[in-house]
Chain A
């Protein structure tokens, strides 16, 4: 049952990520991206990584995408006020896209079909084990990144304060 669910969800995530690119309306793109993130959450749950699933749910779907949507709704992007693209930009775009395809094909060729991933400890994704890992061997990077985030938050609050002359 697990594999069939995986294939259905994987097909859905590929489909929705394609829809992100192909939909004309940027707001629709963002909404498809949200659905794509939701399928990723389902993938995490299938891998028994509950904490990652929920964090993906809260941070990506609940916070970051809301901000994306927020900005796009205010920008009011439509055909009328879209800046004209010069031929030079178009050619550059084509070149960049081809480069990306070449890189992707090259990297795909380099990878061999690996054995199916077997988790040594299926309960690794559970919150207790994850916490022990993060606060044990990965203590320093974890704390550093948390300080980085805290600094960013304090900075954001400071930006809103009026400068005293």
Chain B
């Protein structure tokens, strides 16, 4: 454990943390712009050129707002809730490989904070923890709408985790490893997993919509039924943290989808680029491609949000348990049979 190694990792963590915060911040802006464009409007365009400073203004407003803690709430847990939501949203980025390692001056700098050999399961675990922030916040508010919303969030997340996990199992049958780095390296060039696992990808993306509480599965913050959902009682930056955590979750799940199914930093013709651009520039181009894929997914999240109406709660449960789960099991069986046949012949 030499000092340069620690320094390297520290800088990488700081950069990734900064990037995910900035992306989450500008996702709020992008969401409003995309919504506006999809509805033939303009969206925010007053603060700065084309409204570019809107997120800064919104953040400032959030900080300046009065902080209200309900009298009969559980103060300690009321404060822990948003922090926990933010924490679980941020730590998911630790195992995502952002690019192939940079070779600079004979030194290999991996663009990944840590490569643990249970990377996929780690992400899965972090996602399953994400519900605590919502549950604790909703319960501590001492408000029945918040509590109902927290319970909805919990049952929705648990239900969709099952289908999500099963769809990942089929992917693991194809890749044979749980390390995200190896999964991405296997998809060199255009051998993206989505070509081998189209059904699994559809199940995964539907589940990630449900896990991030995004429309059409945004029942935990369903305004028509639950006022503001679990953050009804929240104000100021605590509310900001909840909203922010949702966007970071969206960013992380887009990154996971891009890494697992859409080849991460791989793109057709990357070998040619590696030869011609050198070992420092090429990985950075790869990282750029990865981010382009992430942004495409974030756009897709927003596109869907402004297209599809919210599901009813029983429809949500029906879809999760009686459609996606059997479909995911069928996907595992089909994948297993195909792999066995390929190995046989």
Interface residues of chain A, those whose CB is within 8 Å of chain B, are 27, 31, 34, 50-51, 53-55, 57-58, 61-63, 66-67, 69-70, 73-74, 126-128, 157, 160
What's the nearest-Cβ distance from chain B to residue A99, in Å?
36
Cβ of B121 < 8 Å from any Cβ of A?
A: yes
Cβ of B282 < 8 Å from any Cβ of A?
A: no
Nearest-CB residue, chain A, relative to B317 = A160
Cβ of B85 < 8 Å from any Cβ of A?
A: no
A73 to B132, CA, bound (A): 13
Contact present for B154 and A69 (CB under 8 Å)? yes
Contact present for B321 and A34 (CB under 8 Å)? no
Of B122-130, B259-267, B305-313, the one touching chain A: B122-130
Size bin of chain B's contact surface = 20 to 34
Contact present for A73 and B151 (CB under 8 Å)? yes
Tell which of B77, B117, B161 touches A62, judged by Cβ atoms closer than 8 Å.
B161
Contact present for A127 and B151 (CB under 8 Å)? no
Known: A50-B116, A63-B128. A73 touches B139 (CB 8 A): yes
A82 to B336, CA, bound (A): 53
Contacts of A66 on B, CB cut-off 8 Å? Answer: 128, 131-132, 135, 154, 157-158
Main secondary structure of the interface of B (DSSP, over half): helix
A27 to B147, CA, bound (A): 13
Cβ of B136 < 8 Å from any Cβ of A?
A: yes
Cβ of B118 < 8 Å from any Cβ of A?
A: yes
Nearest-CB residue, chain B, relative to A64 = B158
Interface residues of chain B, those whose CB is within 8 Å of chain A, are 77, 116-118, 121-122, 124-125, 128-129, 131-132, 135-136, 139, 147, 150-151, 154-155, 157-158, 161, 178, 321-322, 325
What's the nearest-Cβ distance from chain A to residue B229, in Å?
15
A71 to B135, CA, bound (A): 12
A51 to B77, CA, bound (A): 31
A39 to B114, CA, bound (A): 21
Nearest-CB residue, chain B, relative to A161 = B322
Contact present for A31 and B136 (CB under 8 Å)? yes
27 A-B residue contacts at CB 8 Å?
Answer: A27-B139, A50-B116, A50-B118, A51-B121, A53-B118, A54-B121, A54-B122, A54-B124, A54-B125, A55-B121, A57-B125, A57-B128, A57-B129, A58-B128, A61-B125, A61-B129, A62-B129, A63-B128, A63-B158, A66-B135, A66-B158, A69-B135, A73-B147, A73-B150, A73-B151, A74-B151, A127-B118
Known: A67-B158, A73-B151. 4 other contacts (CB 8 A): A27-B139, A31-B77, A54-B125, A62-B129
Tell which of B150, B151, B321 touches A157, judged by Cβ atoms closer than 8 Å.
B321
Contacts of A160 on B, CB cut-off 8 Å? Answer: 321
A70 to B322, CA, bound (A): 22
Nearest-CB residue, chain B, relative to A126 = B117
A57 to B121, CA, bound (A): 9
Contact present for B322 and A127 (CB under 8 Å)? no
Contact present for B151 and A54 (CB under 8 Å)? no
Tell which of A34, A58, A128 touches B121, judged by Cβ atoms closer than 8 Å.
A58
A128 to B139, CA, bound (A): 41
A53 to B117, CA, bound (A): 12
> Which among A55, A62, A126 has the highest number of chain B CB atoms within 10 Å?
A62
> Which among A55, A73, A74 has the highest number of chain B CB atoms within 10 Å?
A73
Known: A54-B118, A54-B121. A62 touches B128 (CB 8 A): yes
What's the nearest-Cβ distance from chain B to residue A83, in Å?
23
What's the nearest-Cβ distance from chain B to residue A126, in Å?
6
Contact present for A157 and B322 (CB under 8 Å)? yes
Contacts of A157 on B, CB cut-off 8 Å? Answer: 321-322, 325
Contacts of A70 on B, CB cut-off 8 Å? Answer: 135, 151, 154-155
Contacts of B132 on A, CB cut-off 8 Å? Answer: 34, 66, 69
Nearest-CB residue, chain B, relative to A66 = B154
Contacts of B322 on A, CB cut-off 8 Å? Answer: 157
A85 to B157, CA, bound (A): 37
Contacts of B121 on A, CB cut-off 8 Å? Answer: 51, 54-55, 58
Contact present for A58 and B151 (CB under 8 Å)? no
Contacts of A74 on B, CB cut-off 8 Å? Answer: 151
Contact present for A127 and B125 (CB under 8 Å)? no
> Which among A27, A31, A58, A128 has the highest number of chain B CB atoms within 10 Å?
A58
